[in-house]
């Protein structure tokens, strides 16, 4: 009997060598399409029904370019989280705050459930839902370090419907000097509902003090 006669392909782990170039602004990423399809339903739909080639279609090194309308830095950490299992470990691994938000946004957008869940685990450890957890000083130390964008956490949590993160995030933002907040460039880009929530929270704290 031939040596290969008993070999059976594992269909779930028999990836095609198809390569795709993802472009975000001026940054390009060359990755295996099959891996993205296996992890993301959005990419699976995108690559299963590709557009017919045309003279206008961009290509690099003979591979098609798919344009993503996302921040390059977010795409980079999102793809690293998919292709490098050691890059984005679950808590208590220490991950840069901006990386967590970037991965969460794109995992939500492109439907990568395990990355979305892992990112929310990280944020859940930073923004507790119980007052006793807030009072233990861990979150206060994080927030006082000015290493996080308070606007970004509220915008991201709202976008991905992680509403349990909002109470502490709003509470912290509403404690800031309101004159400085409303004169900042980030405040101008804040949605009206989010601006109103901050103002109400700020007023409530003044009444309680």
**pTM of the full structure:** 0.84
The b-or-e profile of 56-73 (16+ CB within 10 A means b, else e) is eeeeeeeebebebebbee
Mean pLDDT of the chain: 85
Exposed/middle/buried for 142, CB within 10 Å: 0-12, 13-18, 19+?
Answer: middle
Q: Are 63 and 17 in contact (CB under 8 A)?
A: no
Domain limits at 189?
Answer: 128-209
Q: What are phi and psi of 115, to 5 degrees?
A: -75, -40
pLDDT value of residue 138 = 55
Q: What are phi and psi of 148, to 5 degrees?
A: -120, 150
Decide: helix, strand or coil at residue 32: strand
Q: Is residue 189 part of a domain?
A: yes
Least trusted range by pLDDT, from 106-120, 123-137, 159-173: 123-137
Residue reference for tokens 């601006």: 195
| Structural domains counted in the chain | 1
Q: What angle do CA 154, 40, 118 make, to 5 degrees?
A: 45
Q: Is residue 163 part of a domain?
A: yes
Sorting pLDDT into bands at 50, 70 and 90, what band is 1?
very low
What average pLDDT does the segment 75-87 reach? Answer: 97
Label the pairing between strands 63-67 and 19-24: parallel
Tokens in use for 59?
A: 């290509």
Neighbours of 165 (CB within 10 A): 21
Q: Is residue 193 part of a domain?
A: yes
Q: How do residues 12-22 score in pLDDT, each as one tens digit?
A: 888 888 899 99
């Amino acid at each position: 009997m031939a040596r290969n006669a008993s070999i059976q392909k594992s269909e779930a782990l028999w990836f095609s060598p198809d390569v795709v170039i993802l472009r975000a602004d001026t940054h390009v990423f060359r990755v295996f399409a099959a891996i993205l399809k296996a992890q993301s339903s959005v990419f699976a739909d995108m690559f299963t029904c590709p557009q017919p080639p045309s003279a206008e279609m961009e290509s690099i090194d003979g591979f098609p370019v798919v344009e993503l309308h996302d921040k390059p830095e977010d795409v980079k950490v999102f793809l690293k989280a998919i292709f490098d299992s050691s890059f984005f470990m679950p808590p208590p691994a220490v991950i840069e705050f901006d990386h967590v938000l970037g991965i969460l946004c794109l995992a939500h957008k492109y439907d990568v459930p395990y990355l979305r869940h892992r990112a929310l685990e990280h944020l859940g450890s930073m923004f507790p839902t119980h007052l006793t957890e807030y009072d233990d000083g861990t979150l206060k130390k994080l927030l006082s370090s000015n290493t996080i964008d308070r606007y970004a956490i509220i915008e991201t949590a709202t976008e991905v419907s992680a509403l349990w993160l909002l109470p502490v995030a709003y509470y912290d933002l509403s404690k800031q000097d309101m004159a400085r907040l409303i004169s900042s460039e980030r405040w101008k880009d804040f949605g009206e509902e989010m601006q109103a929530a901050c103002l109400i929270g700020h007023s409530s704290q003044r009444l309680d003090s």
